């Protein structure tokens, strides 16, 4: 019997297993991942940005854990010789109506202790990004880039080296709770027994929570984001990250320009409702996932409020010229011919029955289970800090 079973082999699950075993080296920890490797889904399908903590309301978990996590991520990468660097970010306003929101981001960044922030006028924007156009921009020097899949694999090595076990190909299908143990029945026929369970199940967080008797809400609704690539010979158009001023009604940041640690440049992502929780293509449909989404009252209410926005996102997803037109607001010289189809990711977005999208990190559970119910961006940036938070919370819950 294990002391703790961690469900989920994304960066957060692996970081949590590592944190637990670092704190208590004698703790018997096992991590269960349904895929054949770690970081297969969200942790391996993101833009690779180390966020600085600008966007999040002061006092929120996101604000606190992002700034802590960004520092911890840089320190970890340095200690393990994992490639990581500051790329810088411009959040660019192109309309006067966006200036109040840009000022609010500046205030939030200062309140959250973000270093290296300054407001730029139009001429100063061109000094940082010669091909970018805007009327004002917030410059964040300490926005970085890294390969989170590489970080996750390194964290997994740490877990194994400390005596923890990582069992891939173990998809948890059923949970049986006994008087002193919790039995996790996996799709491969294996049964793993532990005294306590911590679930970092990402795209399947709500389903795993229900298996243990936890509240079915909030529900996970998948949103797919498709990227474009800048052709290698045109990468000189952009130097660092360029982001729009986000729409406060949505937790998505809008299409943007992101350099990759391998030298590539990604454009996007957009945000469209996915037809499968692991649906990385428009044509990927999982009947169970789609039925759950389409029959969920929260989705009906979200669609009623934002149908026009959703249709616009879907149109840009299908028509690449429209996608590029959205990017040309910031870099007018970018053309359709400068781009190539790129990768995709699926975001696990928690939604309430009233159709509102959960913005902050959310945790739930009992004195024997702990669930991460919502950990979208900046979840990867914050992962090491979230792992510490989870370990603290687990100690509080499991020992009371």
Check which CATH number belongs to the domain holding 315 and give it. 3.30.9
Residues 259 and 155 in one domain: no
b/e map 350-385, b = 16+ CB within 10 Å? bbeeebebbbbbebbbeebbbbbbbbbbbbbbbbbb
pLDDT confidence of residue 399? 84
Q: What is the mean pLDDT of residues 126-136?
A: 97
Residues 174 and 214 in one domain: yes
Q: 250: pLDDT confidence band, cut at 50, 70 and 90?
A: low
Are the C-beta atoms of residues 397 and 85 closer than 8 Å to each other? no
The CATH number linked to 5 is 3.50.50.60
Cα–Cα nearest to 139, from 68, 66, 241, 268: 241
Q: 400: pLDDT confidence band, cut at 50, 70 and 90?
A: low
Q: How far apart are CA 197 and CA 326, in angstroms?
A: 44
Q: 252: pLDDT confidence band, cut at 50, 70 and 90?
A: confident
Tell me, yes or no, whether 263 lies in a domain.
yes
Asked whether residue 76 carries a pLDDT value surpassing 90, the answer given is: yes
Which stretches does DSSP call E strand in the chain?
2-7, 29-33, 49-50, 84-86, 89-93, 117-121, 136-140, 144-146, 165-168, 172-177, 182-186, 191-199, 219-230, 241-244, 256-259, 265-268, 272-273, 339-351, 362-365, 369-374
Tell me, yes or no, whether 367 lies in a domain.
yes
Residues paired with 49 in a beta bridge = 145
Question: 60-74: per-residue pLDDT in tens?
Answer: 999 999 999 999 999
Residues 229 and 330 in one domain: yes
Tell me, yes or no, whether 133 lies in a domain.
no
Q: 12: pLDDT confidence band, cut at 50, 70 and 90?
A: very high
Tell me, yes or no, whether 383 lies in a domain.
yes
Residues 159 and 225 in one domain: no
Asked whether residue 251 carries a pLDDT value surpassing 80, the answer given is: no
Question: 155-201: per-residue pLDDT in tens?
Answer: 999 999 999 999 999 999 999 999 999 999 999 999 999 999 999 99
Question: 268-308: per-residue pLDDT in tens?
Answer: 999 999 999 999 998 999 999 999 999 999 999 998 888 88
Percentage of the residues of the chain whose pLDDT score is greater than 90: 92
In terms of residue numbers, what domain contains 247?
221-356
pLDDT confidence of residue 308? 83
pLDDT confidence of residue 393? 96
Residue labelled with tokens 């054949």: 36
Residues 203 and 175 in one domain: yes
Question: 197-232: per-residue pLDDT in tens?
Answer: 999 999 999 999 999 999 999 999 999 999 999 999
Q: How far apart are CA 147 and CA 272, in angstroms?
A: 24
Q: What is the mean pLDDT of residues 366-392?
A: 97
Residues 156 and 290 in one domain: no
Asked whether residue 394 carries a pLDDT value surpassing 70, the answer given is: yes
pLDDT confidence of residue 244? 96
Residues 227 and 318 in one domain: yes
CA torsion 246-267-239-65 (nearest 10°) is 50
Residues 231 and 344 in one domain: yes
Tell me, yes or no, whether 77 lies in a domain.
no
Percentage of the residues of the chain whose pLDDT score is greater than 70: 99
pLDDT confidence of residue 249? 67
Domain count of the chain?
Answer: 2
Residues 395 and 288 in one domain: no
pLDDT confidence of residue 59? 87
Nearest 5 degrees, angle CA 314-CA 236-CA 50? 65
**What is the bridge-based pairing of β-strands 49-50 and 136-140?**
unpaired
Tell me, yes or no, whether 302 lies in a domain.
yes
Structure tokens belonging to residue 20:
């637990």
Q: How far apart are CA 68 and CA 135, in angstroms?
A: 32
Asked whether residue 123 carries a pLDDT value surpassing 80, the answer given is: yes
Residues paired with 192 in a beta bridge = 184
Cα–Cα nearest to 348, from 174, 205, 252: 205
Nearest 5 degrees, angle CA 234-CA 240-CA 246? 110
Q: How far apart are CA 362 and CA 364, in angstroms?
A: 7
CA torsion 193-199-205-206 (nearest 10°) is 70
Structure tokens belonging to residue 191:
């049964």
Q: What is the mean pLDDT of residues 331-347?
A: 97
Residues 290 and 383 in one domain: no
Are the C-beta atoms of residues 69 and 19 closer than 8 Å to each other? no
Tell me, yes or no, whether 43 lies in a domain.
yes
Q: Exposure of 193 by Cβ count < 10 A (0-12 exposed, 13-18 middle, 19+ buried)? A: middle
Are the C-beta atoms of residues 320 and 339 closer than 8 Å to each other? yes
CA distances from 55 to 66, 71, 390 (A): 10, 17, 23
Nearest 5 degrees, angle CA 69-CA 73-CA 77? 175
């Amino acid at each position: 019997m294990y002391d703790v079973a961690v469900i989920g082999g994304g960066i957060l699950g692996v970081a949590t297993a590592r944190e637990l075993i670092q704190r208590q080296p004698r703790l018997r920890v096992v991590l269960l991942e349904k895929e054949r490797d770690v970081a297969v889904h969200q942790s391996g399908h993101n833009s690779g940005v180390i966020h600085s903590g600008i966007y999040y309301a002061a006092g929120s978990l996101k604000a606190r854990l992002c700034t802590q996590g960004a520092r911890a991520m840089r320190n970890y990468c340095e200690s393990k010789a994992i490639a990581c660097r500051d790329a810088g970010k411009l959040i660019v306003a192109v309309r006067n109506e966006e200036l109040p929101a840009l000022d609010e981001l500046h205030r939030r960044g200062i309140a959250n202790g973000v270093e290296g922030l300054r407001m730029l006028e139009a001429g100063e924007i061109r000094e940082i990004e010669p091909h970018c156009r805007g009327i004002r921009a917030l410059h964040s020097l300490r926005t970085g880039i890294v390969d989170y899949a590489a970080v996750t694999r390194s964290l997994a090595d740490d877990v194994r080296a400390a005596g923890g076990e990582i069992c891939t190909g173990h998809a948890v299908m059923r949970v049986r709770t006994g008087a002193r143990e919790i039995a996790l029945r996996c799709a491969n026929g294996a049964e793993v027994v532990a005294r306590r369970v911590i679930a970092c199940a990402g795209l399947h967080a709500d389903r795993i929570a229900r298996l243990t008797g936890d509240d079915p809400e909030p529900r996970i609704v998948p949103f797919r984001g498709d990227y474009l690539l800048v052709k290698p010979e045109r990468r000189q158009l952009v130097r660092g990250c360029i982001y729009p001023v986000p729409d406060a009604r949505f937790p998505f940041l809008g299409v943007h320009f992101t350099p990759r640690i391998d030298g590539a440049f990604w454009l996007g992502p957009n945000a469209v409702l996915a037809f499968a929780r692991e649906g990385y293509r428009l044509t990927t449909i999982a009947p169970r996932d789609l039925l759950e989404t389409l029959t969920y009252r929260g989705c009906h209410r979200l669609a009623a409020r934002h149908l026009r926005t959703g249709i616009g996102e879907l149109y840009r997803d299908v028509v690449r010229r429209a996608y590029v037109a959205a990017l040309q607001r910031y870099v007018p010289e970018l053309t359709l011919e400068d781009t190539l189809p790129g990768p995709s990711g699926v975001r696990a977005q928690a939604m309430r029955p009233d159709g509102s999208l959960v913005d902050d990190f959310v945790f739930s559970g009992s004195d024997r289970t702990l669930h991460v119910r919502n950990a979208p961006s900046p979840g990867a940036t914050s992962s090491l800090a979230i792992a510490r938070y989870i370990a603290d919370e687990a100690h509080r819950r499991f020992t009371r």
